Amino acid sequence: MSLLIKNGRVITAADDYIADIFIEGETINEIGNNLLLKADKEIDASGKLVFPGGIDPHVHLDMPFMGTFSSDNYETGTRAALFGGTTMVIDFILQKQGNSLQAALDEWRGRSNGNCIGDYSFHMAVTDFNDNTKKEIQGLIEKEGIVSFKTFMAYKGALMIDDRQMVGLMEEVKKHGGLINVHATNGDMIDYLIAKHRAEGKLSPLYHYLSQPEVTEAEASERFADMAHYTGCPGYIVHLTCEGALNAVRNATRRNQKVFVETCIQYLLLDASLYEKNFEGAKWVMSPPLRQQKDQETLWAGINQGLVQVVATDHCPFKWEQKLMGKDDFSKIPNGAPGVENRMNLIYNGGVVENRISLNRFVELTSTAAAKMFGLFPKKGTIAVGSDADIVIFDPEKEHTFGVENEHMNVDYSSYEGWKMKGKVETVLSRGRVVIDKGEHTGKQGDGQFLKRGECVKI
């Protein structure tokens, strides 16, 4: 099967030019002007932007968490991602404390194998680092292609590890060429504040926010950077939200340390005033919580200063009936929100249309940087001869409105209901196959491939 995309404006992290793209099978075969090649199918992309498929390196699909499961499974979640121009996701396996990493990998394979529509990979969350777990790290990196290890400095009693385990894990991961991801907030302090608020009868979603003040994230981010510096292990902070935490990263650069930073679209565009809506605020109960407007400005500035490299989603949806598990107690509201389908459109509108970032930076933030950091480049993350034909044809003029009735995530509300957008994902290719055709889905369950990843490339 061959396909020719004609006359699109091709944008990569570095380039911006009009060209034709010829695709043979799953990969890009030729790029040039007025290509005189016969293809089985032709798409006219005149007036459209042509981006590499988005990569969202932070999603939680079908994940057991807080007494329930995130509501998008591997089929619905990867389909929604494709609708939003994201052709690859990286999901999190969670080790159960007391069990092996292999057992967790088997469990996650059981839910994901044969179900994805778009391509995917896994990070491994190590929640119990001990002598046995230590022996499993090398095999995961070298045999399974799982090269990134997630750690939680919070969720005390469930997922959190202590600093002793963190340093031990860092030494082992560094030895075998992997990368440590971290949820960097101070779990002990948060645990104390949750208990205090509950004891005082302060039980609404607002107290979820007030139990995780900025200092909890700033302190943990600095501690993480220090441990990464000491061990020499590459570190990546997931879902960084605030000025204090970004300052910890900035401080680390003064000793020439590079700590990679991901923020998420909701922290750039939403703020904590949403928690004042009584229980409706539960829609945005996530960890860390939304912050203040000054933090949004800091994050956009951090993007332009090169301190923030990736914009992900932390897509972890729960239906309203699941959120109601915490109607009388904020600490029982499942943490997380939907967003994988919204991300590319939102950052285009909020970033490019609002003149905060260039088109090249848009591509870098939504695709290229994650491909490099997570060992997928240049197979993924760019438009080049030999790369996978994961391509988004984007209409920069199309105006549309977000709303749950137009979305495909398995959740009954939208975090951005009624938001007016300029620019829309129109057609999406996954390894050469058209999977979204002018807003219609044409892929099928099982088409998505698991990708073994290589070494992290520093950017």
Residue pair 82/442 in contact (Cβ under 8 Å)? The answer is no
Binding characters for ligand URP, 178-207, by CB under 6 A (x = yes): -----x------------------------
Residue pair 296/272 in contact (Cβ under 8 Å)? The answer is no
Q: Which of 48, 79, 123, 183 binds Zn ion (CB under 5 A)?
A: 183
Instruction: Find which of ligand URP, Zn ion, none residue 336 binds, CB within 5 to 8 Å per kind.
Output: ligand URP
User: Which residue's CB is nearer to ligand URP, number 277 or number 398?
Assistant: 277
- The piece of 96-104, 125-133, 178-186, 373-381 that touches Zn ion (CB under 5 A) is 178-186
User: Which residue's CB is nearer to ligand URP, number 184 or number 303?
Assistant: 184
Q: How far is the CB of 245 from ligand URP (least distance, A)?
A: 14
Distance CA 46, CA 314 (A): 34
Binding characters for ligand URP, 55-84, by CB under 6 A (x = yes): -----x------------------------
Distance CA 81, CA 183 (A): 23
User: Which residue's CB is nearer to Zn ion, number 3 or number 220?
Assistant: 220
Nearest C-alpha neighbor of 377 from the set 257, 458, 314, 259: 458
Distance CA 359, CA 30 (A): 23
CA diameter of the chain: 73
Q: How far is the CB of 61 from ligand URP (least distance, A)?
A: 11
* 332 dihedral zone (left: phi>0; alpha: psi -120 to 50; beta): alpha
Residue pair 80/435 in contact (Cβ under 8 Å)? The answer is no
Q: Which helix (H) or strand (E) holds 79?
A: helix 74-83
Residues in contact with 143: Cβ distance below 8 Å, sequence separation at least 6, in sequence order: none
Residue pair 183/189 in contact (Cβ under 8 Å)? The answer is no
User: Which residue's CB is nearer to Zn ion, number 218 or number 363?
Assistant: 218
User: Which residue's CB is nearer to Zn ion, number 5 or number 312?
Assistant: 312
User: Which residue's CB is nearer to ligand URP, number 178 or number 288?
Assistant: 288
Q: How far is the CB of 347 from Zn ion (least distance, A)?
A: 18
Residue 4, strand partner residues:
22, 42
Q: Is 343 in the site for ligand URP (CB under 6 A)?
A: no
Contact positions with ligand URP (CB under 6 A) in 103-162: none
Q: Which of 78, 298, 335, 427 binds ligand URP (CB under 6 A)?
A: 335
Q: How far is the CB of 315 from ligand URP (least distance, A)?
A: 9
Instruction: Find which of ligand URP, Zn ion, none residue 383 binds, CB within 5 to 8 Å per kind.
Output: none
> Would you list the DSSP string of 320-346?
HHHHGGGTT-GGGSPP-B--TTTHHHH
Rounded (10°) CA dihedral 334, 91, 296, 282: -10
Nearest C-alpha neighbor of 265 from the set 195, 335, 315: 315
* CA distances (Å), origin 296, targets 61, 133, 258, 409: 27, 38, 22, 25
Rounded (10°) CA dihedral 235, 238, 242, 247: 10
CA angle centred on 147, ends 142 and 150, rounded to 5°: 140
User: Which residue's CB is nearer to ligand URP, number 326 or number 423?
Assistant: 326
Residue pair 159/152 in contact (Cβ under 8 Å)? The answer is yes
Residue pair 11/360 in contact (Cβ under 8 Å)? The answer is yes
Q: Which of 286, 346, 357, 456 binds ligand URP (CB under 6 A)?
A: 286
Cβ-proximal residue to ligand URP, closest one: 335
User: Which residue's CB is nearer to ligand URP, number 29 or number 76?
Assistant: 76
Q: Is 298 in the site for ligand URP (CB under 6 A)?
A: no
Q: Is 314 in the site for ligand URP (CB under 6 A)?
A: yes
Binding characters for ligand URP, 4-43, by CB under 6 A (x = yes): ----------------------------------------
Instruction: Find which of Zn ion, ligand URP, none residue 335 binds, CB within 5 to 8 Å per kind.
Output: ligand URP
Instruction: Find which of ligand URP, Zn ion, none residue 262 binds, CB within 5 to 8 Å per kind.
Output: none
Contact positions with Zn ion (CB under 5 A) in 259-318: 314
Q: How many CB atoms lie within 10 A of CB 339?
A: 28
Q: Which of 206, 227, 316, 429 binds ligand URP (CB under 6 A)?
A: 316
Q: How far is the CB of 279 from Zn ion (least distance, A)?
A: 23
Q: How far is the CB of 286 from ligand URP (least distance, A)?
A: 4
Residues that bind Zn ion (CB under 5 A): 183, 314
Residues that bind ligand URP (CB under 6 A): 60, 183, 286-287, 314, 316, 335-336
